[in-house]
Amino acid sequence: MYDSGTTTIGEYTFIYSGHSSADKTRSAHGVAIVLNKQATTAWKNLGSTWEAVNERIVMIRLASKPINVTVIAIYAPINPKNQQQAGSTTDPFYEDLQKTINKVPKCDMLLIIGDFNARVGQEQHRTSSNVVGPHAVDTINDNG
């Protein structure tokens, strides 16, 4: 996905944020939020508020009763093999995510959705009540 913006296809509104099309690469990242007709109305009722933070984070705000809802969609980077790589990819992502969370009005319901690239590990279901089932691919990572 390249660039950022909004588009409407039929009754659906797409709000997206991606890598710049001026610098096309195979490793481009992007996130999007798709709203149906009812959610689009709620989004427009708050002035169509949205922010493309970067190619891994996009935020929208929906009018709702009894409280408004802010949705942050994310695509977290994969945990690097060494700490030096973490300084260039993982750490900035979580700093940007925290800055985005800090912008959310305190009275809003906050939903953070997306791909956290978490790995819980094959044995986590035995030691954690937060993990269901023994089906996993490897060991736990920092996101898990």
The percentage of the chain sitting over the pLDDT mark of 90, rounded to a whole number, equals: 55
How far is residue 137's CA from residue 135's CA, in Å, rounded to a whole number? 7
In angstroms, the first-to-last Cα distance of the chain is: 26
Long-range CB contact pairs, 17-26, < 8 A, 24+: 17/52, 17/53, 17/54, 17/55, 17/56, 17/57, 17/58, 18/55, 19/55, 20/55
Tokens representing residue 27 in the block = 């490793």
Domains in the chain, please, with CATH? 4-119 (3.60.10.10)
The winner for highest mean pLDDT among 24-33, 77-86, 116-125 is 24-33
Question: Is-contact 39 48, C-beta < 8 A?
Answer: no
Give pTM, 2 decimals. 0.78
Q: Pick the more confident residue, 97 or 142.
A: 97
- Give me the pLDDT at residue 128, please: 62
- Give me the pLDDT at residue 29, please: 80
The pLDDT mean for the chain works out to: 82
* CA 25 distance to own-chain centroid: 21
- Count of residues making up the chain: 144
pLDDT per residue as tens digits for the range 59-104: 999 999 999 999 999 999 887 666 666 567 788 999 999 999 999 9
- Give me the pLDDT at residue 43, please: 95
